[in-house]
Amino acid sequence: MSNNKNRFQDFFDDHRYVALKNHLYNYFLRKRDINKFVAKNSGKPILEVGSGLSPMITRIRSVVYSDLSWSALRELKTTQIGNRFVAADGTMLPFKDGSFAQVVCSEVMEHISDDRSVMREIARVLAPSGNLIVTFPHRRFYYGADDRFVRHLRRYELAEMVSNLQAAGLDPLIIRKVLGPLEKLTMLLVVYVYAALQQLAKGDGKDNRSKRLPAAVISMSKWINRIYGVFVWLDARIMPRGLAAVLLIKAIKRP
């Protein structure tokens, strides 16, 4: 993880991104699906690897949030009171063997060169029969401008992800579609629009990253994302798994 510049650090320093992030349709759809598989009272803490500013696990105590970005964790501390925050590289997690009942790792593996090391580390810190819930971008033929923009090193074929998990001692139990091809088309459009706006910002010679958005804009964005999220959710349900843009796997550590 440490050998790749964190693309999201650029966004963490942008107040507009911070204000809008938790309202994005793809964020709350992933979060809803992941939380269906999270055991709330397992007796051991839950680890979220690569939580960033917007973790998947919220409103639960005994969560450890881990990310490379200390500024993201510092921001997260203001909302997730009572939990722990650890700045760490996913390939070298600073926890004892068997420390966690569950690990959540959402949209992280594709950013890491040595993703298999992360899977082995996750398996190591999981208790016997503990669960990993992982989401990842699916299908290599979808790799495009949006992936390059956020510095995805790869998209996964399902068989490849299953093989990597099994090699780390994690056996898949559940495979679920999270986002479909409409999500892929939307993200391509968003990247092109964002790039155009960035060019316009450069043209006026101003750095607008520190500007804060009005509350009305944030509220409007929230409801637009909620409405659009319905169409994205339907798309994921209708389309075959072979066309899914994002998949979720729940895997169990071998005893």
Q: pLDDT (tens digit, 9 = 90+) per residue, 34-43?
A: 999 998 766 7
pTM of the model: 0.88
Yes or no: say if 171 and 123 are a contact pair by the CB < 8 Å rule.
Answer: no
Q: Residue 209 — very low, low, confident or very high, per pLDDT cuts 50/70/90? A: low
What is the pLDDT at residue 222?
85
Summarize the confidence of residues 164-192 as an average pLDDT.
96
DSSP 186-209: HHHHHHHHHHHHHHHHHHTT---T
The H or E element that residue 10 is part of is: helix 8-12
What is the pLDDT at residue 2?
41
What is the pLDDT at residue 11?
52
Q: Assess whether pLDDT exceeds 50 at residue 227.
A: yes
More confident call, 51 vs 9: 51
